[in-house]
Structure 1
Amino acid sequence: METPTIPMPKDERERQILDKLMAIRDSLLLLKRDRTKYIRTQDVMLLYDKLVEQVKQLNEVRKGEHKGENRLDKVLESCFQLISLFFMTIGRTTEVPAAYALTSTIKRLLDHLTEASLFSPKDLTSISNTLGRLEGILNNADAHHSPYLVELLANREALCKSMLCNLRKQLDQLDEPLQAIYERLISIMRSMSLANTKSKFSMTEVQKFQSKLKDIDETMVGGKFVGPDGAELRGSEVVSDLLSRCLQWSDIVLKRKGIIPEPFMDKYSILISIRNDLEKLSITQAWSLRETDLYDFQRQLDRIDEARMDGNWLDADGRPAELYVQRTLLYLIRRSYGYIYYLMNSSEPVSEALLPVYNQLQTLKRCLIEVKNSGGVGSVRELYPYSMKLNSIDNMRVDGKFMVGNDIPEGQGNVTELLAECFDINYELRVAAEELEEAEKVAPTPQPIVS
């Protein structure tokens, strides 16, 4: 994330702070790479407190004045990004530091949505909901957290809200019937881009999407989208332009068949690998994700994204990538940022040390609810497997706490609450089963019919 082109700080005091920040970052990276044990809250908080102390000193040195970005700012950004992901990993997802990485990703997503001018109402709704949640975290920030960090995040959140507002205005310019068509076109465009980046290109798949586009094209009257009264709908030109872009993209994709020119093959291979890895994590994240792993994906994506000149990449001879390559690479970057956003948003308020127990209880709860919704059980005996599993988890507690060695990991309340919910559902099912068995006992035995 930092490059030789970024200058070193000129102030000797800033250089001393930079040295200490680099030591903190190195410690965070070492802690991130250690897979032999769970990440402990006390280890994270020790490094966080050291980071906050350096931020205080930096504020005293700069006294509100900042004369251009230097290497210190980049290292500080890396430290905040890492510490943010560590807070997610230890389950402190509702505290200010955990919000830093999420705001970085939201800003990236909004930058790309603004640049491409391709987004759906669902994209904006999701980001709006997340920003609302982050605002609540900032409003409830306690004195332990750095005022600098709180202010930084508040400014980021305000900027993201402003960008979101501008994007909403674009959609508000469309009449309601056109908003549905617009969203459908966005979906088709993304589906074609996905088909274009699959390991095996399918002409038939893309042709089906192209056929859907032509069906939409045929609903136009005189090159315009009109209402039942024959009047042109507001925003017709915008949607018509998007339709043209989609049709053009379908022709290009069918012509190129997923083949990327050699000069850009390295970037493409890296982005495909990142996209595929993040896609797998999005499916198995409850069992396999350590949030700090997202740092490496973000660094790679940021480097490739920031290597663009005037929005495009250049080959070794300084020639810009053609439209097909540019759009393909941008799709992969945006898709990957989208996965990172989803994974961060899905982070559970439970330490990774307790996640195995938490995930088992989540699965048990889903199973018990499914049993309940399908009519319950015929006998108490059918509940034995669930009861035994719940009791075995309950017996893991020491003085009411789930311990890992001598540590009490974060998220005790969430795991205990989930365990209690499972016991409650199990109890309801048992009572219903017992009542059913009693009813069958007292029911009169049918008498044989005597002819």
Structure 2
Amino acid sequence: METPAVPMPKDERERRILETLTVIQDNLLLLKRDRTKYIRTEDVMVLYDQLEEQVKQLNEVRKGELNKRENRLDKVLESCFQLISLFFMTIGRTTEAPAAYALTSTIKRLLDHLTEASLFSPKDLDSISNTLGKLESILKNSDAQHSPYLVELLANREALCKSMLANLRTQLDQLDGPIQAIYERLISIMRSMSLANTKSKFSLTEIQKFKSKLKEIEDSLVDGKFVDAEGTELRGSGAVAELLRRCLMWSDIVLERKGTIPESFKDKYNILINIRNDLEKLSITQAWSLRETDLYDFQRQLDKIDEARVDGNWLDHEGNPAELYVQRTLLYLIRRSYGYIYHLMYSSEPVSEALLPVYNQLQTLKRCLIEVKNSGGVGSVRELYPYSMKLNSIDNMRVDGKFMVGDDIPEGQGSVTELLAECFDLNYDLRVAVEALEEDSRRPSPAPQVAAQAAP
């Protein structure tokens, strides 16, 4: 476990707390690496209780101390909280305060990068705003359950993120309605070019198409300004015109470099490409392959590379800053990776990994049954047999109404049971509908009435 070089605590009491926290951290890492069995709630809660006790002691030691310089203890404590947070997600306790810690860390990173780059869309901000709203609700209901220190720390983080979010929204508010659509289109093109630039096979044609779209937007300018139908300059025209200039410049640079990274920065680039690709695969197969604690290693690698920047840029072995092309390419990969981590954390199901196989099967069954219902139902009761058999086999797994794994009762029983009930209801509705149709088809049709013909 690599911890950044920071001074050791001078206070002897803090040194003792650091020793205990280091043991807790090691135990968390060992538990994370053990893939031979499911992570049990009991194992996580034992380590969480130990962590809470050390936090309580640290608060007593530091009582009344303001703006204390950060030392190694703070770094190890942060690492422990990050791991515990991901463990809470893994065991399905996603609606409790500890689970929010890792998510707030990632949101803060994302907001830092959005602020630095000044490249963001309303959708970016809306997603983060919705997540912060859910975290606020979690914190309001956590006072009695968890460490007051943790709840206060999370509340402060949430407030900071909301403040940063408000500042970003203010920037968007400077744009008139019609020009916001152009702004969003430019953001989309810029990101698409950056994605194309980092593909394994560089496509000259793809970048040229994006440049053509930029040229179309440039042709709509009147004397270098964006104007309305009456010829009045739109509010925010200058900022969007500057963004257009940046996009065009980036397209020229990408076309010139064709995805080639200098050897001095190739190692960082390869690490970031691998992280981005691994996280992309996880985002596709998340339901079946993700253990949230695995995200810790990705975060540590990203944080290390991100924090290695000097005045916003990376330096090569000789201390020379990276050129603009390299800087933007590496930053795109970092930001994209943090975005994937945010998505994976946000999408974490409130179910223990021990129950995920059953939960995922039910999710698939539900989607299939809804699709069958929306496409007009089934033609006969026989067509429902596979769904009924699968649902009954899952239902029969329960012991006294609970899904057991060995002697354990994993978290998420309510979510799995509710999903099972929804599937049974959908299956029943389809059965009733097809039985009604079959009943109608068996009824004899009424004899046709022959109209009497009048005699001539």
* TM category, shorter: over 0.9
| Partner SS for 1:122 | helix
Instruction: Using the TM superposition, give the Cα deviation of residue 164 of structure 1 relative to its aligned residue in structure 2, in angstroms.
Output: 0.2
Runs of 4+ in 1 over 4 A off after TM superposition: 1-4
Aligned 8 A contact 2:143 2:151 in 1: no
Q: Which residue of 2 aligns with 1:63?
A: 63
Aligned 8 A contact 2:225 2:233 in 1: yes
Q: Which residue of 1 aligns with 2:398?
A: 397
Deviations 1:153-177 (A, max 9, x none): 0000000000000000000000001
Structure 1 CA distance, aligned partners of 2:315 and 2:417? 54
Q: Give, as a single letter, the amino acid of the residue that structure 2 aligns with 1:58.
A: L
Q: Give, as a single letter, the amino acid of the residue that structure 1 aligns with 2:436.
A: E
Structure 2 CA distance, aligned partners of 1:233 and 1:131? 32
Q: Give, as a single letter, the amino acid of the residue that structure 1 aligns with 2:40.
A: R
Count of residue pairs the alignment pairs up: 448
Instruction: Using the TM superposition, give the Cα deviation of residue 144 of structure 1 relative to its aligned residue in structure 2, in angstroms.
Output: 2.9
Q: Give, as a single letter, the amino acid of the residue that structure 2 aligns with 1:300.
A: Q
Structure 1 residues 305 and 196: CA distance shift in structure 2, 3 A:
same
Deviations 1:214-235 (A, max 9, x none): 0000011010000011000000
Gaps in structure 2 of 5+ consecutive residues = 451-456
Deviations 1:170-203 (A, max 9, x none): 0000000110100000000000000000000000
Matches within 5 A, 1:375-414: 375-414=376-415
Deviations 1:230-264 (A, max 9, x none): 00000000000000000000000000000000000
Structure 2 CA distance, aligned partners of 1:418 and 1:445? 44
Aligned 8 A contact 2:186 2:243 in 1: yes
Structure 2 CA distance, aligned partners of 1:355 and 1:446? 58
Q: Which residue of 1 aligns with 2:353?
A: 352
Instruction: Using the TM superposition, give the Cα deviation of residue 303 of structure 1 relative to its aligned residue in structure 2, in angstroms.
Output: 0.1
Q: Which residue of 1 aligns with 2:453?
A: none
Q: Which residue of 2 aligns with 1:20?
A: 20
Structure 2 CA distance, aligned partners of 1:169 and 1:142? 32
Q: Which residue of 2 aligns with 1:222?
A: 223
Matches within 5 A, 1:23-422: 23-66=23-66, 67-422=68-423
Deviations 1:341-387 (A, max 9, x none): 00000000000000000000000000000000001011111000000
Instruction: Using the TM superposition, give the Cα deviation of residue 65 of structure 1 relative to its aligned residue in structure 2, in angstroms.
Output: 1.1
Structure 1 CA distance, aligned partners of 2:71 and 2:59? 15
| Partner SS for 1:215 | helix
Q: Give, as a single letter, the amino acid of the residue that structure 1 aligns with 2:369.
A: L
Q: Give, as a single letter, the amino acid of the residue that structure 2 aligns with 1:44.
A: V
Structure 2 CA distance, aligned partners of 1:385 and 1:446? 39
Structure 2 CA distance, aligned partners of 1:143 and 1:128? 26
Aligned 8 A contact 1:2 1:74 in 2: no
Q: Give, as a single letter, the amino acid of the residue that structure 2 aligns with 1:116.
A: A
Q: Give, as a single letter, the amino acid of the residue that structure 2 aligns with 1:418.
A: L
| Partner SS for 1:317 | coil
Structure 1 residues 205 and 4: CA distance shift in structure 2, 3 A:
closer
TM-score w.r.t. structure 2 length? 0.97
Instruction: Using the TM superposition, give the Cα deviation of residue 143 of structure 1 relative to its aligned residue in structure 2, in angstroms.
Output: 1.8
Instruction: Using the TM superposition, give the Cα deviation of residue 396 of structure 1 relative to its aligned residue in structure 2, in angstroms.
Output: 0.2
Deviations 1:11-68 (A, max 9, x none): 0000000000000000000000000000000000000000000000000000041520
Aligned 8 A contact 1:2 1:75 in 2: no
Structure 1 residues 190 and 426: CA distance shift in structure 2, 3 A:
same
Gaps in structure 1 of 5+ consecutive residues = none
Aligned 8 A contact 1:94 1:349 in 2: yes
Q: How big is the alpha-carbon RMSD for the aligned residues of Structure 1 and Structure 2? A: 1.2
Instruction: Using the TM superposition, give the Cα deviation of residue 5 of structure 1 relative to its aligned residue in structure 2, in angstroms.
Output: 2.9
Instruction: Using the TM superposition, give the Cα deviation of residue 138 of structure 1 relative to its aligned residue in structure 2, in angstroms.
Output: 0.3
Q: Give, as a single letter, the amino acid of the residue that structure 2 aligns with 1:206.
A: I
Aligned 8 A contact 1:89 1:292 in 2: yes
